[in-house]
């Protein structure tokens, strides 16, 4: 099944390459990967969707921790989390079908962000299934171009994901979560 | 203090206690070499950068300090890679410093430019590309720390030429390093230690599998105390050799593909395996589906990624082996497993009849004879380095190592060409020690040019070439699995005696067993490096052998010949 991992990495040159190279070398397929800044200076956050059973993902997390620039890895798959994908879709929208498309956009709570005589660009945010559904509905109108960001995810509740070192210099989670089955 | 980047390199090396560096100069690291002359660090000029990497690796394994090798950009750096990968697989604490083209040319396919950090990404523990002088000091300090801490390994620092040339104000930073993503866990968790002790208390047929972690964490004393108190026998991995005395009654010998038959059999019969600083390599386990089917498993390793990687375990403990054993020893009771030990002893006796040492002399010189005699001659006190192949396995079987850090071999990567440069590196780590490189005729020729390095340095290492005129291990596989179709394994070699002489060194040739002893004596009394060409039986094979992927208990055994067990009074 697909797992959603959140990987906090040091914001240094080549880190994306290290992570991507690890997936290649250890024969894991990345379904989607997003990278961006976080609330912590010097830390970037990757959200990676990867296919694999629980054992394989446990291995993958252990390998990720071997990378010196990887600070923390969490598997949000079995947690209560918000997962969002963003899509920009350029669709054919001549006057005769435009109203119909606008109604669909309304139903999905999308936004029209660009308009020409013959086309629209629609922005839609939501979980993967919602966007997949929207794309299917739009397809008969003629999709000219589409881009999706890939999933970003965040656990629900008030606690932060990243917990800096405690006084003993021991990392939060890290080795315990790996050696326990 | 205003210093050039090149000077900062040597300042950090000095602070890190580096005494010797192995390397090769070139266009992109000339500033570093120029600055070197002002520092009291000895540089060994190698003949190929692979040699420098192996020397630094072996230096580290013998001394316990970080080994350092240097090369220039492009081909200099790519030549290092075989040695870096060797150090990676065998967790050897090493730092590699390579010159890179001037920073504004990086990415423009400049002369001798190679993406060295890209190439070495999967074969280093970590690596760095340094473009600015200001970064050199901090990066090198981190490199040494990462190389030697946690599970040790190679770290590469690629420094642009202009970063070496430019100057900056620099003071050595004494504040502790802060690496947010790198925090090796030294101390085990109590709960898991308790679970492990419980399993030990329940076991009737426990067996310790001792790996290189014993040596890397300096846990030799703790291991011995543990084994003696709990009366648990120990099987060694190839790289674990030396972590527990070969002569100790609880030491069963080596496990795995060419392990002793009784050791592999014991693993298959055991009801508890205690894996100490080893990683269940496929050469150790054979078929994982049938591996140790009756055993519960406890695994102690500093690298969390090794736990449950190849073998699912009942208790996985992440921690420094020495710290963990110390914690366990606080609670470990005296135990008795005499039935189990007796049973293993019986199996051992059955195997002895097949040992080549006990076969009647047939006028041929066998590698086992040479290595056995070398062991007797040196009293087991020499530092032994090996190449890779049949001679390596025979050396592991017949050179009985009692002390740590004197058995240096390429295990994980199986790098031919390792033996001679490793011997040179070992000699620099312990100049007082007698060093023997046991090599095959194939592997020797891969790095034989380093004889010239030994000659230039005026050091004495001894090279025992186990010369069978074949790439022996591959030939053996062809004999067993490819109907004796010897494709590309017969090998013609130069006259090794003359080769030694061409380097201004000494060479001997030995063709009969009765001449082995006198050749060893002559080698010892000769000044400078010596090469002995031992012409051994051409088509001998290493036994026992677990074919790749086969069940560990399904070993190919040495065919029974007219064994004369009665006269086998040898302590083997």
Predicted confidence (pLDDT) per residue in B127-137, tens digit: 999 999 999 99
Binding-face residues of B in 121-150 toward A, CB within 8 A: 121-122, 125-126, 129, 146
- Binary contact (B316, A179; C-beta < 8 A): yes
Judged by CB atoms closer than 8 Å, whether chains meet at B183 and A165 is answered as yes
- Chain B partners of A169 at a C-beta cutoff of 8 Å? 183
β B167-169/B2-4 pair status: antiparallel
Q: Which of B117, B122, B180 sits opposite A10 (nearest CB)?
A: B180
CB contact under 8 Å between A175 and B182, yes or no, is no
Give the tokens for residue B529.
């490096």
Residue A83: which of A17, A19, A178, A2 has the closest Cα?
A2
Strand pairing class (B94-100; B154-160): parallel
* Cα–Cα nearest to A48, from A26, A77, A71, A69: A77
Residue A169: per-residue pLDDT: 41
Summarize the confidence of residues B347-374 as an average pLDDT.
83
Q: What is the Rg, in whole angstroms, of the alpha carbon atoms belonging to chain B?
A: 24
Interchain proximity A17–B121, CB inside 8 Å: yes
Nearest to A178 among B117, B126, B307 (CB): B307
Q: What angle do CA A64, A67, A68 make, to 5 degrees?
A: 140
Average pLDDT over residues B205-232: 98
Q: Check A181 against B312: CB less than 8 A apart.
A: yes
Q: Which of B180, B279, B296, B315 to mutate to test the interface with A (most CBs of A within 10 A)?
A: B180
Chain A neighbors of B129, CB-CB under 8 A: 13-14
Q: Which residues of B touch A66 (CB under 8 A)?
A: 303, 305
In chain A, which residue's Cα lies nearest the Cα of B181?
A71
- Predicted pLDDT at B536: 96
Which one of the listed residues B88, B255, B257, B473 is annotated catalytic?
Answer: B473
B255 in catalytic set: no
- Using an 8 Å CB-CB cutoff, list chain B residues near A14: 117, 129
Residue from B141, B181, B188 whose CB has the most chain A CBs within 10 Å, to mutate: B181
pLDDT (0 to 100) of residue A174: 41
User: pLDDT by residue (tens digit) across B497-542?
Assistant: 999 999 999 999 999 999 999 999 999 999 999 999 999 999 999 9
For residue B28, report the phi and psi dihedrals to the nearest 5 degrees.
-85, -10
Residue B310 in tokens: 């190849």
Q: Span B183-202, mean pLDDT?
A: 95
pLDDT of residue A171: 42
B457 is catalytic: no
Categorize the per-residue pLDDT at B361 as very low, low, confident or very high, splitting at 50, 70 and 90. Answer: confident
Compute the nearest-CA separation of B329 from chain A (Å): 22
Q: Which residues of B touch A13 (CB under 8 A)?
A: 129
* Known catalytic membership, residue B134: no
- pLDDT recorded at residue B1: 86
Query: Measured between beta carbons, which residues in chain A are less than 8 angstroms from residue B304?
Result: 62, 65, 174-175, 178-179
- Strands (DSSP E) contained in A40-80 are 43-51, 70-75
* Exposure of B517 in the CB half-sphere (CA atoms within 13 A): 4
Q: Does B177 touch chain A (CB under 8 A)?
A: no
Query: Which one of A14, A70, A169 has the shortest CB-CB distance to B181?
Result: A70
> Taking a C-beta distance cutoff of 8 angstroms, is the pair B120, B127 a contact?
yes
Work out the number of other CB atoms within 10 angstroms of the CB of residue B207. Answer: 26
pLDDT surpassing 90 at residue B570: no
- Percent of the residues in chain B that have a pLDDT greater than 90, as a whole number: 93
Scan for tokens 């090396």, then name that residue: B13
- B386 vs chain A: nearest CA distance in angstroms? 30
Verify whether residue B49 is a known catalytic residue. Answer: yes
Report the residue from A67, A171, A181 with minimal CB separation from B308: A181
The angle formed by the CA atoms of residues B273, B274 and B276, to the nearest 5 degrees, is 140
In chain B, the residue whose alpha carbon lies closest to the alpha carbon of A69 is B181
Confidence of residue B354 (pLDDT cuts 50, 70, 90): confident
pLDDT one digit per residue (tens) for chain A, 181 residues: 899 999 999 999 999 999 999 999 999 999 999 999 999 899 999 999 999 999 999 999 999 999 999 999 999 999 999 999 999 999 999 999 999 999 999 999 999 999 999 999 999 999 999 999 999 999 999 999 999 999 999 999 998 888 775 444 444 444 333 333 3
Please tell me the distance in Å from B549's CA to the nearest CA on chain A.
Answer: 20
Rounded Cα gap, residues B286 and B478, in angstroms = 19
Q: Is A17 on the interface with B (CB under 8 A)?
A: yes
Q: Distance between CA atoms of B498 and B531, rounded to whole angstroms?
A: 10
* CB–CB contact B181 A178 (8 Å): no
- Residues β-bridged to residue B94: B67, B154
Predicted model pTM: 0.94
In what helix (H) or strand (E) does residue A172 lie, and over which residues does it extend?
A: none
Q: Are the beta carbons of A176 and B189 separated by less than 8 Å?
A: yes
Q: Which residue of A has its CA nearest to B312?
A: A181
Specify the pLDDT at position B254.
97
Average pLDDT over residues B90-118: 97
Does B568 have pLDDT greater than 90?
no
pLDDT at B43 over 70: yes
For A12, nearest residue in chain B (alpha carbons)? B128
User: Given an 8 Å threshold on Cβ–Cβ distance, is A18 in contact with B121?
Assistant: yes
Given the structure tokens 């001449």, which residue do they identify? B515
Nearest Cα to Cα of residue A57 among A81, A17, A26: A26
With CB atoms and an 8 Å threshold, state whether A17 touches B192.
no
Flag the least confident range among B93-102, B190-199, B557-566: B557-566
Other residues' Cβ atoms within 10 Å of the Cβ of residue B531 = 29
Alpha helices, DSSP H, located in B205-318: 213-216, 220-230, 261-269, 282-285
Q: How confident is the model at residue B326 (pLDDT cuts 50, 70, 90)?
A: very high
Chain B positions in Cβ-Cβ contact with residue A23 (cut-off 8 Å): none
A178 neighbourhood in chain B, CB within 8 Å: 304-305, 307, 316, 318
CB pairs under 8 A between A and B: 67
Residue B347 known to be catalytic: no
Which letter, b or e, does each residue of B461-472 get, where b requires 16 or more Cβ atoms within 10 Å of its Cβ? bbbbbbbbbbbb
Q: Does A58 touch chain B (CB under 8 A)?
A: yes
């Amino acid at each position: 099944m697909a797992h959603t991992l959140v990987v906090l990495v040091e914001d240094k040159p080549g880190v994306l390459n290290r992570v991507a190279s690890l997936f290649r070398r250890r024969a894991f397929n990345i379904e989607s990967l997003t990278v961006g800044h976080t609330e912590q200076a010097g830390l970037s956050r990757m959200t990676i969707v990867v296919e694999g059973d629980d054992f394989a993902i446990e291995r993958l997390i252990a390998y990720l921790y071997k990378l010196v620039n990887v600070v923390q890895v969490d598997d949000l798959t079995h947690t209560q989390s918000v997962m969002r994908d963003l899509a920009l879709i350029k669709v054919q929208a001549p006057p005769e079908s435009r109203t119909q498309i606008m109604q669909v956009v309304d139903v999905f709570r999308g936004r029209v962000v660009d308009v020409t005589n013959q086309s629209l660009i629609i922005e839609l945010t939501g979980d993967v299934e919602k966007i997949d559904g929207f794309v299917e509905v739009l397809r008969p109108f003629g999709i000219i171009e589409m881009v999706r960001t890939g999933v970003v995810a965040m656990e629900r509740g008030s606690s932060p994901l990243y917990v800096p070192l405690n006084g003993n210099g021991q990392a939060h989670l890290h080795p315990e979560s790996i050696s326990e089955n | 203090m205003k210093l050039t980047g090149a000077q900062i390199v040597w300042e950090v090396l000095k602070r890190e206690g580096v005494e010797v560096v192995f390397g090769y100069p070139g266009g992109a690291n000339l500033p570093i070499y120029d600055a070197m002359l002002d520092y009291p660090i000895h540089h060994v000029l190698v003949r190929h950068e692979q040699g420098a990497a192996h020397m630094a690796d072996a230096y580290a394994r013998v001394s316990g300090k970080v080994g350092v090798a240097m090369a220039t950009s492009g081909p200099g750096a790519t030549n290092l890679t075989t040695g870096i990968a060797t150090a990676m697989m065998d967790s050897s604490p090493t730092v590699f410093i390579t010159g890179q083209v001037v920073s504004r040319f990086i990415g423009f396919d400049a002369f001798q430019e190679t993406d060295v950090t890209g190439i070495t990404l999967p074969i280093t523990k970590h690596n760095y590309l340094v473009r600015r002088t200001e970064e050199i000091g901090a990066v090198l300090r981190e490199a040494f720390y990462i190389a030697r801490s946690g599970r040790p390994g190679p770290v590469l620092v690629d420094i642009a030429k202009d970063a070496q040339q430019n100057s900056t104000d620099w003071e050595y930073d004494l504040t502790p390093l802060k690496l947010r993503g790198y925090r090796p866990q030294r101390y085990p968790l109590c709960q898991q230690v308790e679970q492990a002790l419980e399993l030990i208390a329940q076991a009737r047929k426990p067996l310790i599998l001792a790996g290189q972690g014993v040596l890397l964490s300096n846990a030799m004393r703790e291991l011995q105390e543990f084994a003696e108190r709990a009366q648990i026998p120990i099987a060694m991995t190839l790289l674990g050799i030396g972590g527990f005395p070969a002569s100790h009654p609880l030491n069963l010998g080596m496990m795995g593909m060419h392990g002793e038959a009784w050791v592999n059999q014991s693993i298959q019969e055991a009801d508890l395996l205690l894996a100490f600083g080893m990683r269940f390599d496929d050469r150790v386990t054979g078929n994982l589906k049938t591996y140790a089917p009756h055993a519960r498993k406890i695994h102690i390793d500093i690298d969390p990624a090794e736990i449950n990687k190849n073998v699912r375990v009942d208790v996985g403990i992440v921690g420094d082996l020495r710290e963990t054993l110390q914690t366990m020893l606080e609670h470990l009771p005296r135990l008795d497993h005499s039935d189990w030990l007796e049973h293993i002893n019986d199996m051992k006796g059955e195997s002895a009849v097949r040992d080549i040492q006990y076969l009647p002399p047939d006028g041929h010189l066998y590698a086992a004879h040479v290595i056995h005699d070398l062991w007797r001659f040196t009293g087991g006190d020499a530092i032994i380095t090996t190449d890779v192949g049949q001679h390596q396995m025979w050396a592991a079987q017949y050179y009985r190592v009692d002390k740590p850090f004197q058995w240096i071999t390429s295990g994980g990567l199986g790098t031919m060409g390792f033996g001679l440069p490793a011997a040179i590196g070992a000699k620099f780590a312990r100049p007082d020690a007698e060093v023997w490189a046991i090599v095959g005729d194939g592997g020797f020729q891969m790095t034989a040019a380093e004889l010239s390095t030994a000659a230039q340095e005026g050091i004495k290492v001894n090279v025992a070439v186990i010369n069978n005129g074949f790439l022996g291990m591959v030939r053996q596989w062809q004999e067993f699995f490819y109907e004796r179709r010897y494709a590309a394994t017969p090998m013609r070699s130069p006259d090794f005696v003359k080769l030694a002489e061409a380097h201004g060194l000494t060479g001997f040739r030995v063709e009969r067993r009765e001449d082995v002893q006198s050749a060893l004596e002559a080698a010892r009394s000769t000044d400078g490096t010596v090469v002995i060409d031992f012409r051994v039986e051409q088509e001998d094979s290493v036994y026992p052998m677990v074919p790749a992927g086969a069940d560990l208990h399904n070993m190919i055994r040495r065919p029974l010949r007219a064994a004369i067990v009665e006269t086998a009074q040898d302590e083997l």
